[in-house]
Amino acid sequence: MRNRYLDLLRFLAIVRVVVYHVTGWATLTLVFPAMSVMFALAGSLMAASLTRSGPAAVGRRLRRLLPSLWVLAAVFVPAMLLTGLPVSPRLLLWLFPVADPPANHWGAVALSVIWYLRDYLWFVLASPVAYWLFRRAPLPTLLAPYLLLVAIEAGIYPAPPVLREFGLYFGAWLLGFAHHAGMLRRLAGRVLYPVALVLAVVGGAWIVGHPGPRGYDLNDNHLGNALWSAAFILIVLGRAPAGIAWLTRSRLADRAVTVVNRRALTVYLWHMPFVVALTPLVDVVGWSHQDPLGLAIRVLLVFALVGVVTLAVGWVEDVAARRVPELVPAGRPRVAVPPARGHQLR
């Protein structure tokens, strides 16, 4: 059964990512650290799959992840080859992105969001071992990515890029494991709130003391990002409500959450090319980043264009998930019933 609260969090995260990429407002990364939330939700789902299916869950998760990437690559890789991208064996990374796939000058910007799939892929591959460790030593396993990141940021361990990503986002993925196991929900308020407060204060202080080129943008501050995001996840998952009845009472809101959840990967992959393509066009008519009306128009145009592409290719996500393909997901997911004591929502 679907947990509609988790669906709502994913909906908000996707919308926040798109709005941030259009507006560039660094404050949005602090108000809602969307990428860490998305990794935490994915980690919870991965833990549920491993519980049900064991290591076979890895293949199922990859099957749901890669086809949407291949559709994107079928459009943009030929376009990049025609505009200067050299042919090389690295093009195979567009099929299985364990490293950043090659891109030309414009493709590197328009397709920059591919890093999320690269990290997601590594986290899925690492999950069977990580889940085995987590079930035997939860707290040391949870702490490991954060300690790794501290060592990297302090210069103690000059880690390769992939390990830096584990330090930055795998902690959120493991917090998803803890959510699935019910650990976060069982934490007493006298423990959860002080821990979240300490993480937020330390992370916030590090962000203020180490501003990046865009100011206090989480994306420019790995350690601050990890700590601030961990505090946010502890609250939104550790004190998750049993249900959100108001959502099912609003037909429009309920449908919007369903559609975005069923098409989350399509929306994520395709929004950035439209952000990049629209920027010079809207600048011509004077809709600058300082103009609230211009920003609102940019956001609406990006969502409209993403909606068109989603109609065209979003059904690939249905095929990958072995659902009946739909142009617009119409079926209302079953709402999760509050679990009996000792059982966890899946």
Cα–chain center distance at 206: 23
Instruction: Count the Cβ atoms, other than its own, within 10 Å of residue 147.
Output: 12
What is the average per-residue pLDDT within 67-84?
Answer: 97
What amino acid occupies position 158? Answer: P
The pLDDT of residue 346 is above 70? no
Query: In whole angstroms, how far apart are CA 278 and each of 2, 104, 110, 303, 324?
Result: 36, 19, 11, 12, 33
What is the average per-residue pLDDT within 270-276?
Answer: 95
Higher pLDDT among residues 284 and 153, named by residue: 153
Do the domain assignments include residue 344? Answer: no
What is the average per-residue pLDDT within 230-247?
Answer: 91
End-to-end CA distance of the chain: 7
User: Under a CB-based contact definition with an 8 Å cutoff, are residues 141 and 133 in contact?
Assistant: yes
pLDDT at position 295 is: 82
Do the domain assignments include residue 327? Answer: no
Do the domain assignments include residue 115? Answer: yes
Alpha helices, DSSP H, located in the chain: 4-23, 27-31, 34-53, 56-82, 107-110, 114-136, 138-153, 161-165, 171-180, 183-186, 189-209, 222-238, 245-249, 251-262, 264-284, 292-313, 315-320
pLDDT at position 333 is: 46
What is the average per-residue pLDDT within 266-294?
Answer: 80
pLDDT at position 96 is: 97
The pLDDT of residue 285 is above 80? no
The pLDDT of residue 283 is above 90? no
Measured in residues, the chain has a length of 346
* Cα–Cα distance for residue pair 189/185, rounded to 1 Å: 10
296-338: pLDDT as tens digits? 888 999 999 999 999 999 999 999 999 999 999 875 444 444 4
**pLDDT class of 342 with cuts at 50, 70, 90:** very low
Kindly state the helix (H) or strand (E) to which residue 27 belongs, with its residue range.
helix 27-31
User: Under a CB-based contact definition with an 8 Å cutoff, are residues 252 and 228 in contact?
Assistant: no
Do the domain assignments include residue 199? Answer: yes
Percent of the chain with pLDDT over 90: 77
Please name which of 178, 128, 172, 141 lies closest in space to residue 344, comparing C-alpha atoms: 178
What is the average per-residue pLDDT within 25-39?
Answer: 96
Q: Considering the entire predicted model, what is its pTM?
A: 0.91
The pLDDT of residue 191 is above 90? yes
The pLDDT of residue 107 is above 90? yes
Count of the separate structural domains present in the chain: 1
Do the domain assignments include residue 316? Answer: yes
Instruction: Name the average pLDDT for the chain.
Output: 90
Give 212's strand partners: 215
Question: Could you tell me the two tokens for 11?
Answer: 């909906």
**Which residues, other chains included, contact 3 with Cβ-Cβ below 8 Å and sequence gap of 6+?**
336, 345, 346
Do the domain assignments include residue 231? Answer: yes
Burial class from Cβ neighbours inside 10 Å (0-12, 13-18, 19+) for residue 346 reads middle
Do the domain assignments include residue 245? Answer: yes
Tokens 């008519």: give the residue: 285
**pLDDT class of 229 with cuts at 50, 70, 90:** very high
Structural domain harbouring 222: 4-321
pLDDT at position 20 is: 95
* Cα–Cα distance for residue pair 296/294, rounded to 1 Å: 5
Do the domain assignments include residue 155? Answer: yes
Least confident stretch, 6-10, 50-54, 239-243, 249-253: 239-243
What amino acid occupies position 261? Answer: N
